[in-house]
A and B are shown apart, each in its own frame.
Chain A
Amino acid sequence: MNLISSLSLTAGALNAQKTRLDVVAQNIANAQTTLGPDGRPYQRRVVSFETELLRVGGTPLQGVRVSGITADPTPGQSVYDPQHPQANREGYVEMPNVHLAYEMVDLMTASRAYEANLSVVKNARQMAMRALEIGR
């Protein structure tokens, strides 16, 4: 029994946006991390989505899922700080390529997209409940 068929699709979208929010959180948290597990400064991660083909009760629908989390290869800023343990011979430290402005924009986009999908859930439920009110 699948009463609200669009919900499995929306659940995928919510998952994807939540992953994006997690990645933004990771980027912001590591905005000053100069030493990653590979010995290099942190590289900001970017989430990309891909279409997921779903079949909900005979109707082919296109859902969404996270296709991958990739590192942004842009070089980070070099800051002159000779006391820093990761400073090179000239006294420069390579900082992560995280820009807070970009991350904030990503955060807002993810949060608004999440909200949009939540209102789909809300409306789908309301439509089902309205349909059940026919019998009253």
Chain B
Amino acid sequence: MSLLGPIGHSPAASLISRLPGANRDDAPLGPVKLPGVTAAPTPAVNEPGGFGSVFEQLVSSVDAKQDEAQALTRDVLLGQNDQLHQSMIAMQEAGVAFQLMVEVRNKVVESYQELMRMPV
């Protein structure tokens, strides 16, 4: 003989079962819809003005700088040009631009990881 009896048959349990969401069938599986709150439209990543396209532009301009530096250095090495300093300056500029790109990427990854660590 059990002292408490099966929980499902006690009066308290029948009270609990009448609360919304207590039965498995009532459990909110999808997103909870609150009245008056509509979800913000999610912007596409590559839409103009979005972060994706800005970063893409940054990457392509860094790439253009690297190409320019490479072309100047090749000209110097092939003897078509004797502007050694221009080649070096272009290389330095490309290096700084690349460093900027790396820093931006590090920041983005860091903030993503910060978000993932956030306790929910």
Least CB distance, A131 to chain B, in whole angstroms: 9
Which of A9-17, A45-53, A59-67, A89-97 is the contact stretch? A9-17
Which chain A residues lie closer than 8 Å to B93 at the CB level? 3-4, 7
Q: Mark B96-120, 1 if CB is under 8 A from A, else 0.
A: 1101100100110000000000000
Contact of A129 among B83, B88, B96 (CB under 8 A): B96
Report the Cα distance A4→B93, complex, angstroms: 7
Interface bracket on A: 10 to 19
The DSSP consensus for interface residues of chain B is: helix
Report the Cα distance A129→B103, complex, angstroms: 11
Q: Are B99 and A18 in contact (CB under 8 A)?
A: no
Closest to A127 in B: B96
Report the Cα distance A18→B58, complex, angstroms: 34
Q: With A7-B89, A135-B103 in contact, do A1 and B96 touch (Cβ < 8 Å)?
A: no
Q: Are A125 and B85 in contact (CB under 8 A)?
A: no
Closest to A125 in B: B92
Q: Are B89 and A135 in contact (CB under 8 A)?
A: no
Which chain A residues lie closer than 8 Å to B107 at the CB level? 135
Q: Are B103 and A132 in contact (CB under 8 A)?
A: yes
Q: With A1-B65, A1-B97, A132-B103 in contact, do A11 and B85 touch (Cβ < 8 Å)?
A: yes
Report the Cα distance A11→B100, complex, angstroms: 22
Closest to B62 in A: A1
**Contact of A35 with B by CB under 8 A:** no
**Contact of A113 with B by CB under 8 A:** no
Report the Cα distance A69→B63, complex, angstroms: 38
Q: Are A121 and B89 in contact (CB under 8 A)?
A: yes
Which chain A residues lie closer than 8 Å to B65 at the CB level? 1
Report the Cα distance A132→B99, complex, angstroms: 8
Q: With A15-B83, A135-B103, A135-B107 in contact, do A3 and B89 touch (Cβ < 8 Å)?
A: no
Least CB distance, B42 to chain A, in whole angstroms: 28
Q: Specify which of A3, A7, A18 lies most central, judged by the most chain B CB atoms within 10 Å of its CB.
A: A3
- Among B78-96, those with CB < 8 Å from A are 82-83, 85-86, 88-89, 92-93, 95-96
8 CB-based A-B contacts, threshold 8 Å: A1-B62, A4-B96, A14-B86, A15-B85, A121-B88, A129-B99, A132-B103, A135-B107
Question: Nearest 7 A-B pairs (CB), nearest first?
Answer: A14-B85, A1-B61, A128-B96, A135-B103, A125-B92, A3-B96, A132-B103
